[in-house]
């Protein structure tokens, strides 16, 4: 998967079916996805989508580099720090590139998530 920020910066992340098979399947069928970025403190970058999937294998603790899905808002959450969230989220993957690039994301940047084509 490619996470593109404002059409300039690109990061690679892996969605892992074994973490949440139903949710990851729904996401893969919904690609490509795009939205405006939002920041939650200094540890979470997220964007909202119209993906509709219930909670699966809910967790509230995430590590730097994790990717999660928040079903209540259809949001993709990218963790740039270790977080214990007040809301339960569905774990869906990890970054394979340096997620520190996300520290430079500004609120309102356009984020696009799509499958890499070879």
Give residue-wise pLDDT tens across range 36-58.
Answer: 999 988 899 999 999 998 899 99
The 10s digit of each residue's pLDDT in 100-117 is 778 889 999 999 999 977
Distance CA 94, CA 45 (A): 14
pTM over the 0.85 mark: yes
Handedness of CA 99, 65, 39, 74 (dihedral sign): positive
- Mean per-residue pLDDT for 72-100? 90
- Residue 118 counted as domain residue: no
Q: What is the pLDDT of residue 118?
A: 57
Domain residues for the domain of 83 are 2-104
What region, left, alpha or beta, does residue 24 occupy, with left being phi > 0 and alpha being psi -120 to 50 degrees? alpha
* Confidence band for 77, pLDDT divided at 50, 70 and 90: very high
CATH number at residue 69: 2.40.100.20
The total domain count for the chain is 1
Distance CA 23, CA 40 (A): 23
């Amino acid at each position: 998967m490619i996470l593109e920020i404002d059409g300039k910066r690109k990061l690679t992340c892996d969605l892992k079916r074994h973490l949440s098979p139903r949710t990851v399947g729904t996401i893969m069928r919904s690609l490509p996805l795009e939205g405006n970025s939002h920041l939650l403190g200094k540890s979470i970058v997220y964007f909202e989508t119209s993906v509709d999937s219930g909670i699966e294998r809910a967790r509230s603790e995430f590590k730097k580099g994790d990717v999660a899905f928040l079903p209540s808002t259809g949001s993709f959450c990218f963790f740039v720090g270790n977080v214990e969230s007040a809301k339960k989220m569905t774990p869906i993957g990890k970054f394979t590139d340096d997620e520190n690039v996300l520290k430079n994301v500004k609120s309102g940047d356009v984020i696009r998530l799509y499958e890499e084509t070879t």
